[in-house]
């Protein structure tokens, strides 16, 4: 069925719902491209001469870690990473997550998702500017003054907003904007205070020396080192070389959670599972070499930050995402174990930044009613933009992302007896209409939230009882 026809039919069904957002008014098969920022070398060098990076610091204690550093490599299947001796070495120095998933293809939407809680339908690597009224994880961190920054190898200067900075001797791809998650968002890219915190590896070395590594950071090696233009042998060797001295550095390690992961896998027909290891001082040595088979996704990195520092949610796919195991354990958060049957996470759904299934001017509304993983509800700025009583355009409280309307990843079923019922959202037992996006808030949805609250209360009671015994 043509996507447009599908939307028209489902739109009619949803007109019956009294509340909830309207479906996208239309779906186009192409998008007007954004204007690509591509400065000339002379302009870049002129700004480079004066640009000054900034390294604010803070010391906000978290439940399970005081610093998080994410390092992303590129485009490798789980098994190929697992079989590399240097990736195994990394696994032996941390906790391997064997069911951590990317959320779509190609690269850019995965980077966008890891900081914004959605990929907004993105299905390409072109220049994109997500409007300033869309919040990211840095807005969550800012609520408590938690310092953050990015380290992008070979970024020519702090805050560079161009599409790429190639190796000027060989013109090989080097720094690429598509791997710079925060620059995709105008809320960061148009704020000079913020862009000065987007630094290169010179900045990383300086911050390490000056002990000014922020509490949240994202590290992107260049296109050679991250495997994009090379292979896992090369990238794993680089990563080990980068990490090995850091793992010996008491300042860097102290209560730090390091996440080594990949943006996406290589073969798109395979489920989009990526080799991911948690290391650093926040991971107890008893867990080194162990494997956690709970389901996680890139959205888990945001829910984990929210739970760790008691921050609100973006009200998007971060809302109900499983919290990384060691953090969930310390926070008393119960994750949902799901069946992975029929879940691929290998395609985007229609959205405002999609090329193929573009929804002109229509942005999915976040869920501003839900309490989300940390129990803090959504960021006030998000509620201010969308209203405090938004059910959300998708079933954003679900533990994994799916889109019933577009038939993307609707197949998952919760494992019988799993922690909470939130994952019912994608279950085949639901009626076709209730799986559609925009998701109407059903009685079942409300009941699910009540069940989750009861489960949480029961958890608290059990912990208290356990402490008394």
Contact string (CB under 6 A) for ligand NAG, positions 414-433, x = contact: -x------------------
Q: Is 31 in the site for ligand NAG (CB under 6 A)?
A: no
Q: Report which of 403, 257, 436, 420 is spatially closest to residue 316, judged by C-alpha positions.
A: 403
Distance CA 62, CA 345 (A): 30
Contact string (CB under 6 A) for ligand NAG, positions 205-244, x = contact: -----------------xxxx----xx-xx--x--xx---
Contacts of 407 (CB under 8 A, 6+ apart): none
Find the binding residues for ligand NAG in span 267-326 (CB under 6 A). 268-269, 293-294
Find the binding residues for ligand NAG in span 120-159 (CB under 6 A). 131, 133, 142, 153-154, 156-158
Q: Is 194 in the site for ligand NAG (CB under 6 A)?
A: yes
* Least distance CB 233 / ligand NAG (angstroms): 5
Q: Is 229 a catalytic residue?
A: yes
Q: Nearer Cβ to ligand NAG, position 67 or 228? A: 228
Q: Is 202 in the site for ligand NAG (CB under 6 A)?
A: yes
Q: Is 165 in the site for ligand NAG (CB under 6 A)?
A: yes
Distance CA 451, CA 441 (A): 15
Distance CA 117, CA 136 (A): 7
* Least distance CB 200 / ligand NAG (angstroms): 4
Q: Report which of 142, 141, 159 is spatially closest to residue 150, judged by C-alpha positions.
A: 159
Q: What does the DSSP assignment read for 377-428?
A: -B-HHHHHHH-TT---SS-TTSSS--BTTTTBS----BPTT-S-GGGGGG-T
Strand 276-279 relative to strand 67-73: parallel, antiparallel, unpaired? Answer: unpaired
Contact string (CB under 6 A) for ligand NAG, positions 33-72, x = contact: --------x--x---x--x-x-------------------
Exactly one of 386, 394, 400, 402 binds ligand NAG (CB under 6 A); that residue is 386
Angle at which helix 107-116 crosses helix 300-309, to 10 degrees, equals: 20
Q: Report which of 234, 233, 328 is spatially closest to residue 282, judged by C-alpha positions.
A: 328
Q: Nearer Cβ to ligand NAG, position 6 or 442? A: 6
Q: Nearer Cβ to ligand NAG, position 96 or 158? A: 158
Q: Is 172 in the site for ligand NAG (CB under 6 A)?
A: yes
- Count of C-beta atoms within a 10 Å radius of residue 289: 13
Report the largest interatomic distance among the alpha carbons of the chain, rounded to a whole angstrom.
70
Contact yes or no for 88/82 (Cβ under 8 A): yes
* Least distance CB 219 / ligand NAG (angstroms): 12
Q: Nearer Cβ to ligand NAG, position 84 or 395? A: 84
Contacts of 173 (CB under 8 A, 6+ apart): 164, 166, 167, 223, 228, 229
Find the binding residues for ligand NAG in span 337-376 (CB under 6 A). 337, 344, 346-347, 363
Q: What does the DSSP assignment read for 295-354?
A: -EETTHHHHHHHHHHT--B-SSTTTTPPPPHHHHHHHT-----B--TT-------SBTT-
Q: Nearer Cβ to ligand NAG, position 331 or 385? A: 385
* Least distance CB 377 / ligand NAG (angstroms): 18
DSSP state of 99: T
Q: Nearer Cβ to ligand NAG, position 111 or 127? A: 127
The span of 62-70, 167-175, 301-309, 459-467 binding ligand NAG (CB under 6 A) equals 167-175
Cis (ω within 30 of 0) for the bond into 307?
Answer: no
Interface with ligand NAG (CB under 6 A), residue total 51
Q: Is 174 in the site for ligand NAG (CB under 6 A)?
A: yes
Q: Report which of 135, 123, 121, 60 is spatially closest to residue 302, judged by C-alpha positions.
A: 135
Question: CA torsion sign, 393 to 398 to 399 to 400?
Answer: negative
The catalytic residue among 229, 293, 389, 409 is 229
| Positions in the binding site for ligand NAG (CB under 6 A) | 41, 44, 48, 51, 53, 85-86, 131, 133, 142, 153-154, 156-158, 162, 164-167, 172, 174, 191, 193-194, 200, 202-203, 222-225, 230-231, 233-234, 237, 240-241, 268-269, 293-294, 337, 344, 346-347, 363, 385-386, 415
């Amino acid at each position: 069925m043509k996507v447009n026809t599908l939307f028209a039919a489902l739109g009619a069904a949803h007109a019956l719902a009294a509340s909830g957002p309207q479906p996208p008014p239309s779906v186009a098969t192409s998008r007007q491209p954004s204007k690509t920022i591509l400065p000339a070398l002379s302009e870049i060098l002129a700004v480079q001469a004066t640009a000054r990076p900034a390294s604010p610091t803070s010391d906000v204690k978290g439940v399970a870690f005081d610093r998080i550093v994410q390092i992303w490599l590129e485009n490798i299947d789980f098994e190929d990473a697992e079989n590399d001796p240097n990736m195994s070495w990394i696994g032996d120095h941390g906790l391997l997550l064997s069911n951590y998933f990317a959320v779509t293809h190609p690269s850019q939407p995965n980077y966008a998702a890891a900081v914004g809680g959605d990929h907004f339908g993105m299905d390409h690597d072109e220049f994109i500017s997500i409007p300033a009224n869309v919040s990211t994880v840095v807005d969550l961190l800012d609520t408590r003054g938690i310092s953050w920054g990015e380290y992008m190898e070979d970024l020519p200067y702090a805050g560079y907003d161009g599409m790429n900075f190639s190796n000027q001797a060989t013109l090989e791809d080097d720094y690429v904007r598509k791997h710079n998650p925060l620059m995709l968002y105008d809320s960061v890219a148009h704020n000079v205070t913020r862009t000065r915190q987007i630094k290169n590896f010179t900045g990383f070395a300086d911050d390490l020396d000056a002990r000014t590594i922020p509490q949240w950071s994202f590290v992107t090696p260049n296109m050679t080192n991250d495997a994009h233009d090379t292979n896992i042998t090369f990238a794993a060797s680089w990563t080990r070389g980068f990490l090995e001295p850091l793992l010996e550095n008491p300042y860097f390690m102290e209560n730090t959670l390091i996440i080594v992961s990949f943006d996406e896998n290589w073969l798109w027909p395979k489920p989009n599972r990526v080799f991911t290891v948690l290391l650093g001082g926040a991971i107890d040595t008893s867990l080194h070499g162990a494997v956690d088979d709970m389901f996680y996704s890139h959205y888990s990195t945001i829910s984990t930050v929210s739970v760790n520092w008691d921050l609100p949610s973006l009200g998007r796919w971060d809302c109900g995402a499983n919290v990384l195991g060691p953090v969930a354990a310390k926070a008393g958060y119960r994750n949902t174990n799901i069946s992975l049957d029929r879940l691929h996470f290998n395609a985007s759904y229609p959205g405002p930044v999609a090329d193929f299934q573009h929804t002109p001017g229509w942005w999915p509304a976040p869920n501003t009613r839900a309490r989300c993983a940390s129990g803090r509800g959504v960021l006030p700025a998000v509620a201010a933009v969308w209203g405090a009583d938004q059910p959300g355009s998708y079933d954003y409280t679900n533990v994994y992302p799916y889109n019933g309307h577009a038939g993307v990843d609707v197949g998952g079923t919760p494992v019988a007896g799993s922690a909470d019922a939130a994952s019912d959202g994608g279950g085949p037992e639901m009626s076709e209409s209730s799986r559609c996006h925009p998701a109407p808030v059903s009685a079942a949805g409300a009941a699910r939230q009540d069940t989750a609250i009861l489960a949480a209360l029961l958890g608290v009671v059990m912990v208290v009882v356990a402490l008394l015994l």
